[in-house]
Chains A and B, each alone.
Chain A
Amino acid sequence: MQYIDNVIFLILLIAGFGLFAKSLKELYRNIKLGREIDRTDRKAERWAIMTRVALGQSKMVKRPIAGILHIFVYVGFVIINIELLEIIIDGIFGTHRFLQSVLGDSFYAFFTGFLEILAALVVLAVVVFFIRRNFYGVKRLTMKELFGWPKQDANWILIIEFALMVAFFTMNGADFYADSTRFSSNFPISKHLFPFFGNFSIETLHIFEKSAWWFHFVGILFFMNYLYYSKHLHIILAFPNTWFANLEKKGKFNNLDSVTKEIKLMMDPNADPYAAPAEGEAEIPSKFGAEDIFDLNQHQLMSAYSCTECGRCTSVCPANITGKKLSPRLIMMKTRDRLEEVGKNLNKNGGKFVDDGKKLLNDYITKEELWACTTCNACVEACPVLIDPLSIIFEMRRFLVMEQSAAPQELNLMMTNVENNAAPWQYNQADRLNWAND
């Protein structure tokens, strides 16, 4: 019976990571539902961007308060997780503070002391975030579009992070009061937090310490598996999302090759319009633009999962600022909602999508939102993880216009003018030089 702890620990560990791996597999499958896009060129540049933007948080600090607090949580999270290594070793082998024997007393003291300071910064940040989100009223964090699950999700994350840090401090504090000769200088923060621990017996303190240790461990496993269902997935996907980001100028919208072929054929006086397509070139009738998540590319789908719903995009969107329905954040959230719905459909039907009569367009994103966009790229510029909501808006406009001829009447008029008069207004092309004679 003496190994029961270790066995329970191992089972939880394997189950936790196993479930997580399953989620990641599903995530990968869902992203692969999109169209392929080759973003593997210019590798050096991509590594540099990922390092700067995801690892270095360069875009986060554009809003200094949120940016710096976020760095506390981020650095704290990454470094405190080194402790997970110790937890795993202790858990499997039944040791206690294994790293102390490896690092030596003085370095271990420095190391755990450093972790405690980081943990304190995390607590500070998490508390400020909670207040900003729930009481202080930062506009982008209190908009109606976040009501319901997005708001709860955000709060749960903050609460879990807070609880994990409290468990970390409790564990250290109990350890300190149980055996202060061993940890006299290790715990700069926790040793001051729990003076009442001094009244407890060693056995009680051990129970406190062990309970907090288990809570911390199970909490981490839970949090890891919560990611897939949360906006917090960005802690993983921010990295690939920035690596695969669009490196072209923001104003450069892609040209559809299928259209080029058609038009060149139209313009070529020698072309035989009835000619069968050349061998091996059998035309697969492709859809223009995007109606559902299957028509978006894989990076756009990954971006939907990478979105943290921070709303920096929406807060700079000229359409949104002036009260129009468009919110770039909501475009990303709805894309993800639809993608998750399709994912569940696949799970239910043995990996095959069974038509559910719904589409991203209309059922999730309305035309009114799409037509409000000025393509100004402010949302793209604002995103801390290089998401491009504009590219989704643009693809859906393409679908509306080229597949459904469903542009607003005034735009139809403009397009007819361009087509017939070579100008968006109804002027005669022969008058193009009149300005020179005025």
Chain B
Amino acid sequence: MDFTIKTMADYAAEGKSPEVLFWVGCAGSFDDRAKKITRAFCKILNKINVEFAVLGQEESCTGDPAKRAGNEFVFQMMALTNIEVLNAYEVKKIVTACPHCFNTLKNEYPSLGGNYQVLHHTQFLKDLMNEGRLKIEGGSFKGKKITFHDPCYLGRANDEYEAPRMLLEKLDAELVEMKRCKTNGLCCGAGGAQMFKEPEKGNKDINIERTEEALSFEPKVIATGCPFCNTMMTDGVKHFNKNTEVEVKDIVELLAEAEDL
């Protein structure tokens, strides 16, 4: 990165607090592909002078995969630890690029004592755009065909379908909707801790089914809003040997590219 990423501890040392905490998440921290999403998002925030911090080493898994696998103990151990950290820094507003972190922080932390305003990165950027702080021009995506794959944990789980689409529209691209979109969206196959195991026996993998649908529109880009969806769709595109023609990109990567960051 060509600028410094500050942590909550850095801000605390200065006696200040940032506008928002960026919850990076495990995929965003460790997965090579997802790290690019993390950096793209940071570049956008930095460009428009949003003061943000990350927790860095003080961040732990939100507990989502453990919870959905059925392990409430491990989930709550993570949750209560994270809540202690977040409350110690008096965090008010959290933004994250991972719908799983988003859902867990937003819906499952409050009853454990963690009350924050939690936003998915597309929601946060939408707000910034409405406030006039973020401006996006079509740039390199003008007229290109893009289809958006709804992440289940942003869409059906939390009823957010508009924010990612609003950002994509700003790219002046040709947005095509798959038949299974919004409330009827098809899962990428990674949710509910499936990301961490081989799928059960069947005649097809879910990400193949989903990618097939996306590719039938012959898009230039399959846009995602979740690091897990991103992995699953990328694998799907490779499966069909289309990885030279079709890109799988998170919305913030598209925005950063459009702005040539």
Contact = CB atoms under 8 A, between A and B. Distances in A.
Interface of A: 248-253, 255-256, 259-260, 262-264, 266-267, 288-289, 316, 318-319, 321-326, 368, 371-378, 380-381, 394, 397-402, 407-408, 410-411, 413-415, 418-419, 422-425, 427, 429-438
A252 B61 contact: no
Nearest to B3: A436
Nearest to A400: B70
27 contacts: A250-B158, A251-B107, A255-B108, A260-B112, A263-B73, A263-B80, A321-B209, A324-B201, A325-B201, A375-B152, A376-B187, A378-B186, A397-B68, A411-B69, A411-B193, A413-B196, A418-B66, A419-B77, A422-B78, A423-B26, A424-B26, A425-B31, A429-B57, A432-B30, A432-B56, A432-B57, A433-B57
A329 to B, nearest CB: 17
A424 B65 contact: yes
A407 B65 CA distance: 13
B73 A402 contact: yes
Contact of B69 (A259, A397, A427, A431): A397
A394 B78 contact: no
A378 B180 CA distance: 11
A434 B5 CA distance: 11
Given A250-B157, A260-B112, A425 B26 contact: yes
A249 B159 contact: yes
Contacts of B66: 414-415, 418-419, 424
A251 B103 contact: yes
B200 A418 contact: no
A399 to B, nearest CB: 8
Interface string B190-222: 111111111111111110111000000000000
B244 interface: no
A255 B195 CA distance: 22
A271 B49 CA distance: 45
Contacts of B187: 318, 374, 376, 378
Contacts of A255: 72, 76, 79, 108, 111-112
Contacts of B71: 398, 401-402, 407, 415
B26 A371 contact: no
Nearest to B187: A376
B196 A410 contact: yes
B173 to A, nearest CB: 26
A422 B206 CA distance: 28
A414 B196 contact: yes
Nearest to B31: A425
Contact of A422 (B61, B67, B196): B61
Given A255-B108, A262-B73, A319-B202, 12 more contacts: A318-B206, A323-B202, A375-B152, A378-B156, A378-B186, A397-B69, A401-B71, A402-B73, A407-B69, A415-B65, A425-B26, A436-B5
A423 to B, nearest CB: 4
A418 B104 CA distance: 15
Nearest to B191: A374
Contacts of B84: 267
Given A323-B202, A381-B183, A433 B152 contact: no
B65 A435 contact: no
A368 B200 contact: yes
Contacts of B56: 432-433
B1 A437 contact: yes
A214 B72 CA distance: 59
B107 A249 contact: yes
A434 B204 CA distance: 36
B236 interface: no
Given A318-B189, A410-B196, A267 B65 contact: no
Nearest to B73: A259
B192 A373 contact: yes
A288 B184 CA distance: 32
Contacts of A431: 29-30
B10 to A, nearest CB: 11
Nearest to B153: A251
B192 A376 contact: yes
Given A250-B157, A322-B202, A322-B206, A375 B191 contact: yes
A374 B73 contact: no
Contacts of A432: 24, 29-30, 55-57, 59
Give 5 nearest A-B pairs by CB, closest first: A251-B157, A375-B192, A397-B70, A323-B203, A422-B60
B225 interface: no
Contacts of B201: 323-325, 368
Contact of A438 (B24, B28, B35): B35
A411 B196 contact: yes
Nearest to B157: A251
B7 interface: yes
A322 B203 CA distance: 6
Given A324-B202, A429-B60, A252 B108 contact: yes
Nearest to A433: B56
Contacts of B80: 260, 263-264, 267
